[in-house]
């Protein structure tokens, strides 16, 4: 897809479809010449439906014959109430635009009311627009061609600085390309997307973007002393891999950001096996790893002055005669021992050793771990925000702010000392699940905190609820969302400015 920016001039539009974003109840405020192309049909409609313009509400008008050289359709698309527009809604608005009314048009022009500052929002608009076109159904036999009406160009119409708009749009395109790649791999079934497949995915990203990569085998992971990580892989026929990728953009005096992603290619729960309902969903338990690897690709393309290391443990969590059992005690790289009370709390196990490894080896200034860690995050927040936990507070605030500006929401949960008490084990240093009900996301975070040095800024993103869309909606297709790729990229950029 190509994205351009131009001043609004109805005669100069060369697209098939013009989309005008409208505020709720304020639809008549259209740019010059638009209504005329429909012989007044738009204004007649808005007279009857004055409140038109709710978020994601759209209507298509046909351009009267011979009125315009290229335009065939004009679409009004609701932005909701002016004072309620947040970055997340703008991104989803753009996704809804490309996902709905515009289907079939190869070229589009998009006009947004002046209050939506195009120079500040072009990136978000392009990311959203591109994500709305994403097609997860490519594995349906014979349907490949059906869904492939490709949007070839998007023109953003604006009165603002075109150079700035173009820059934002270009960055948005770079992110979008990787976002598609991330969503593809998260959607892949676990019989295709094995730990080994993820290694290939990571190697491809590294090779294409000239990133350093190391791949440790299961034997190496064991030999290095990462026994907590290795314990998760014991039940699987597939080998575990631990991938470490590096971007060196800042030189030796620059800060280092570590991204640590949970890469469970299928989570059956292990011996503490999950109920069958919705278990197929657990192929997405590597969404954290995929987003971290994707972030490395975008960071390599945008070249911020910072060093970034990405570490992803990749394995399945399956039951077998060789699998870890409830009550097993394992020891990790930090020297700490863990009593595995529940083999289904495997994400924190693989992450604990990955966290220790990156700290020992790279002494990062900041760590962000990304994981589909707890169903409790869905209970707490529904599908509308990722949970964030960590410290110090100013770092958490920065991640939240960056995320919100990227159209990805976070809600902070606490790490009170009491949650640590819930993780006491009578036999080992820590238990992998809480002894009492409640606070599942918090105890997950608290477990990870045990493996993060007190002085390191650290954020844990529990993306359980946000990485996966359960149903087809106005702005998203069922399946992987790509969240929190944009947050990770923009965080690396903003930390590089410090
Ligand atoms: N991968 C799951 C969490 C999950 C749940 C992801 C739903 C996506 C959708 C994780 O490994 C898990 O099983 N967590 C347990 C933790 C519990 C045993 C403490 C959970 O949430 O039940
Ligand atoms: Zn899991
Ligand atoms: Mn699990």
Ligand 1 touching residue 316 (CB < 6 A): no
Distance (angstroms) between ligand 3 centre and the Cα of 132 equals: 30
Full-model pTM: 0.97
End-to-end CA distance of the chain: 34
Is the previous residue joined to 2 through a cis bond, with omega within 30 degrees of 0? no
Nearest CA to ligand 1 atom 5: 375
Is residue 371 lining ligand 1, measured as CB closer than 6 Å?
no
Atom number in ligand 1 closest to CA 375 = 21
Give 362's DSSP letter: H
Cβ–ligand 1 contact at 267 (below 6 Å): yes
Which residue minimizes the CA distance to atom 7 of ligand 1?
A: 375
Count of beta carbons in the 10 Å neighbourhood of residue 455? 8
Q: What is the pLDDT of residue 135?
A: 85
Please, what sign has the CA dihedral across residues 185, 484, 265, 283?
A: negative
CA–CA separation, 217 vs 205, rounded Å? 19
H-helix segments, 188-226: 195-208, 218-223
CA separation for the pair 384, 246 (Å, rounded): 32
> What is the set of active-site residues?
274, 348
Q: Which of 262, 277, 339, 375 to mutate to test the pocket of ligand 1 (most atoms within 8 A of CB)?
A: 375
| Neighbouring residues of 283: CB distance < 8 A, sequence distance ≥ 6 | 188, 189, 190, 193, 265, 266
Euclidean distance between CA atoms 331 and 353, whole angstroms: 10
Residue pair 205/247 in contact by the 8 Å Cβ criterion: no
Q: How far apart are CA 409 and CA 307, in angstroms?
A: 25
Q: What is the DSSP letter of 217?
A: E
SS3 at position 276: coil
pLDDT at 138: 67
Tally of CA atoms within 13 A in the half-sphere of 363 that contains its CB: 4
Centre of ligand 1 to C-alpha 161, Å, is 47
Mutate to test the pocket of ligand 1, among 345, 371, 380, 468 (most ligand atoms within 8 A of CB): 345
DSSP letters, 457-493, are: EEEEEE-TTTSEE-S--SS--SEE--TTHHHHHHHHH
**Closest listed residue to residue 349, CA positions, set 257, 454, 426, 428:** 428
Which of 315, 344, 423 is the best mutation target for the ligand 1 pocket, counting ligand atoms within 8 Å of the beta carbon and taking the most? 344
φ, ψ (nearest 5 deg) of residue 155: -110, 125
Q: Could you say which ligand is closest to the alpha carbon of residue 373?
A: 1
Give the residue from 265, 411, 423 showing the smallest Cα distance to 350.
Answer: 265
Residue 429's Cβ-count burial label (10 Å; 0-12, 13-18, 19+) is middle
Question: Helix, strand or coil for residue 275?
Answer: coil
Tell me the CB-side half-sphere exposure of residue 374, using CA atoms within 13 A: 30
Of all protein residues, the one whose alpha carbon is nearest to atom 22 of ligand 1 is 375
pLDDT at 136: 83
pLDDT value, residue 150: 78
Domains of the chain: 2-158 (3.40.220.10), 183-496 (3.40.630.10)
| 441 Cβ closer than 6 Å to some ligand 1 atom | no
Instruction: Report yes or no: 285 and 344 within 8 Å, Cβ to Cβ.
Output: no
The count of C-alpha atoms lying within 13 angstroms of the C-alpha of 490, restricted to the half-sphere facing its C-beta, is 23
CA distances from 380 to 184, 366, 421, 470, 491 (A): 28, 26, 21, 17, 25
Q: Residue 269 CA: which ligand 1 atom is closest?
A: 13
Ligand number nearest to the C-alpha of 466: 1
232 lines ligand 1 (CB under 6 A): no
What whole-number distance in Å separates Cα of residue 463 and Cα of residue 380? 12
β-strands 256-261, 73-78 pairing: unpaired
- Residue of 424, 463, 466, 417 lying closest to 442 (CA atoms): 417
What is the structure's pLDDT at 34?
Answer: 97
**Percent helix, percent strand, percent coil in the chain, to nearest 5:** 35, 20, 40
Contacts of 97 (CB under 8 A, 6+ apart): 19, 21, 58, 75, 77, 110, 129, 132
How does pLDDT run along the chain (498 residues), one tens digit per residue? Answer: 999 999 999 999 999 999 999 999 998 889 999 999 999 999 999 999 999 999 999 999 999 999 999 999 999 999 999 999 999 999 999 999 999 866 789 999 999 999 999 999 999 999 999 999 998 876 677 655 455 567 899 999 999 999 999 999 999 999 999 999 999 999 999 999 999 999 999 999 999 999 999 999 999 999 999 999 999 999 999 999 999 999 999 988 999 999 999 999 999 999 999 999 999 999 999 999 999 999 999 999 999 999 999 999 999 999 999 999 999 999 999 999 999 999 999 999 999 999 999 999 999 999 999 999 999 999 999 999 999 999 999 999 999 999 999 999 999 999 999 999 999 999 999 999 999 999 999 999 999 999 999 999 999 999 999 999 999 899 999 999 999 999 999 999 999 998
How many C-alpha atoms does 142 have within 13 Å on its Cβ side? Answer: 0
CB of 464 within 6 A of ligand 1: the answer is: yes
Distance of alpha carbon 355 from the chain centroid = 21
């Amino acid at each position: 897809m190509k994205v351009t920016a131009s001043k609004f001039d109805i005669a100069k539009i060369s697209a098939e479809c013009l989309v005008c974003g409208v505020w709720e109840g304020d639809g008549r405020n259209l740019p010059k010449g638009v209504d005329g192309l429909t012989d007044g049909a738009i204004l007649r409609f808005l007279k009857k439906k004055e409140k038109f313009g709710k978020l994601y509400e759209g209507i298509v008008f046909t351009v009267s014959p011979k009125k315009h050289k290229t335009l065939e359709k004009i679409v009004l698309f609701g932005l909701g109430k002016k004072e309620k527009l947040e970055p997340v809604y703008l991104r989803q608005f753009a996704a809804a635009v490309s996902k709905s009314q515009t289907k079939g048009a190869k070229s589009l022009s998009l006009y947004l009311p002046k209050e939506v500052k195009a120079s500040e929002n072009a990136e978000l608009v392009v990311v959203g627009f591109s994500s709305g076109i994403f097609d997860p159904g490519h594995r349906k036999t014979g349907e490949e061609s059906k869904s492939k009406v490709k949007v070839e160009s998007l023109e953003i119409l604006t009165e603002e600085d075109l150079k700035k708009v173009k820059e934002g749009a270009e960055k948005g395109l770079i992110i979008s390309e990787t976002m598609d790649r991330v969503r593809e791999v998260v959607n892949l079934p676990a019989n295709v997307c094995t730990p080994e497949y993820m290694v290939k995915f990571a190697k491809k990203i590294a090779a294409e973007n000239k990133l350093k990569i190391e791949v440790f085998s299961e034997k190496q992971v064991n030999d290095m002393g990462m026994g907590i990580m290795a314990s998760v892989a014991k039940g699987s026929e597939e080998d575990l891999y631990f991938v470490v990728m590096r971007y060196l953009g800042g030189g030796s005096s620059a800060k280092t950001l570590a991204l640590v992603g949970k890469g469970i290619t299928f989570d059956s729960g292990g011996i503490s096996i999950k109920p069958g309902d919705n278990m197929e969903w657990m192929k997405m338990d590597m969404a954290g790893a995929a987003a971290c690897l994707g972030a490395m690709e975008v960071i390599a393309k945008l070249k911020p002055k910072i060093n970034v290391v990405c570490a992803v443990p990749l394995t399945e969590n399956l039951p077998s005669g060789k699998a870890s059992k409830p009550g097993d005690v394992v020891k990790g790289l930090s020297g700490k021992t863990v009593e595995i009370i529940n083999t289904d709390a495997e994400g924190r196990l693989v992450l604990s050793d990955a966290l220790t490894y990156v700290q020992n080896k790279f002494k990062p200034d900041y760590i962000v771990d990304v994981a589909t860690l707890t169903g409790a995050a869905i209970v707490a927040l529904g599908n509308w925000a990722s949970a964030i936990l960590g410290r110090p507070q100013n770092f958490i605030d920065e991640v939240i702010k960056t995320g919100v500006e990227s159209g990805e929401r976070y809600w902070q949960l606490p790490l009170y000392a009491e949650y640590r008490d819930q993780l006491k084990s009578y036999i080992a240093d820590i238990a992998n699940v809480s002894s009492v009900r409640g606070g599942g996301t918090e105890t997950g975070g608290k477990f990870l905190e045990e493996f993060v040095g007190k002085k390191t800024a650290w954020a844990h993103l529990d993306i359980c609820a946000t990485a996966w869309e359960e149903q087809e909606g106005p702005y998203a297709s069922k399946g992987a969302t790509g969240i929190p790729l944009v947050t990770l990229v923009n965080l690396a950029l903003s930390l590089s400015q410090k």
